[in-house]
Amino acid sequence: MERLLDMSENTPVTIRERCEPSRTRSRELRLAAVTLLWAVTFVGATRLLKSELLPAGIVPWLVALAPSVAAGFVLAAYVRFLREADELQRLIQLQGLAAGFGGGFFVLCGYSLFEQLGASPAGIELVAVMPFLYVIGVLVGERKYR
């Protein structure tokens, strides 16, 4: 492997070593970008469908389908992210997913009891608790192994 000389520390540094942080960062940025794309598509599609600006026919169906297509890109990027991650990063992601899925499931189940007592019915907004708890779980993991 080609080697460079890092003049600041006077120790040999490989090209791979120099590239590794930027590759990790680019994976994270790619995942963040497609997630943002999905969020924009979802919010846009929701507003368009509520606005009744769309002509009748196939167009509203295509608009409703758009977030699902974007979600496919998010899932593909996340699978690639996991595949290229090392074992500690995967562990942190697993903890995040456990917090998001497990916590979200129990929150939704728990809220159903409050609905029986007269609380407003759970909307799609309540599902947002899952990614919220996922992010919290990942941040806790990142802090734990920092």
Supply 110's token pair: 């728990």
Pick the binder of another protein from 4, 5, 22, 24 (CB under 8 A).
24
Given the complex with another protein, which of 105 and 145 has the nearer CB atom?
Answer: 145
Q: Which of 14, 22, 68, 112 binds another protein (CB under 8 A)?
A: 14
Does position 17 interact with another protein (CB under 8 A)? The reply is yes
In angstroms, the CA 77 to CA 91 distance is 18
Does residue 146 belong to the site contacting another protein (CB under 8 A)? yes
Local structure of 100: helix, strand or coil: helix
Tokens standing for residue 87: 């074992």
Size of the site for another protein (CB under 8 A): 18
Smallest distance, another protein to C-beta of residue 16, A: 5
Amino acid, res. 130? M
Assess 125 for contact with another protein (CB under 8 A).
no
**Phi and psi dihedrals of 6, rounded to 5?**
-80, 105
Per rule CB under 8 A, is residue 11 in the interface with another protein? yes
Binds another protein (CB under 8 A): choice among 2, 5, 7, 16: 16
Distances (CA, A) of 35 to 74, 75, 113, 128: 6, 9, 32, 14
d(CA 86, CA 91): 9
116 bridge partner residues: none
Q: Considering only residues 31, 38, 77, 89, which one is a binding residue for another protein as defined by CB under 8 A?
A: 89
Residues at the site binding another protein, with contacts judged by CB under 8 A: 9, 11-14, 16-17, 20-21, 24, 86-89, 91, 144-146
